[in-house]
Amino acid sequence: MAFGIAMGFVFPLYAALFVEFKSEFHGTFFVAGRILAGIMVGGVSFVITRLTIISVIRLLPRELGAARGSRSAKFSWRCA
């Protein structure tokens, strides 16, 4: 999430090299919009990580326990 927020702060500085705003209000509005977009990207990335990677990590002990209990047990990967 911090990466998204950091991008929200860094991108306006980089974009200012190439864009000339009509007024100070437009520049401020652009900066605020980019920071908000960075926070949203970071939040969505966090949610996707929680739903995919963390759920697989939580399944591993159960799968490993089943394999340890029976030498012929096969791993079954489930996509939820």
Q: pLDDT tens, 56-66?
A: 888 887 777 76
Domain-by-domain residue ranges, the chain? 2-69
Give CA–CA dist 68/56, Å, rounded. Answer: 18
Give CA–CA dist 46/1, Å, rounded. Answer: 6
The pTM (predicted TM-score) of the whole model is: 0.56
Strands (E), 1-80: none
Q: pLDDT tens, 7-50?
A: 777 877 788 788 888 888 888 888 888 888 888 888 888 899 88
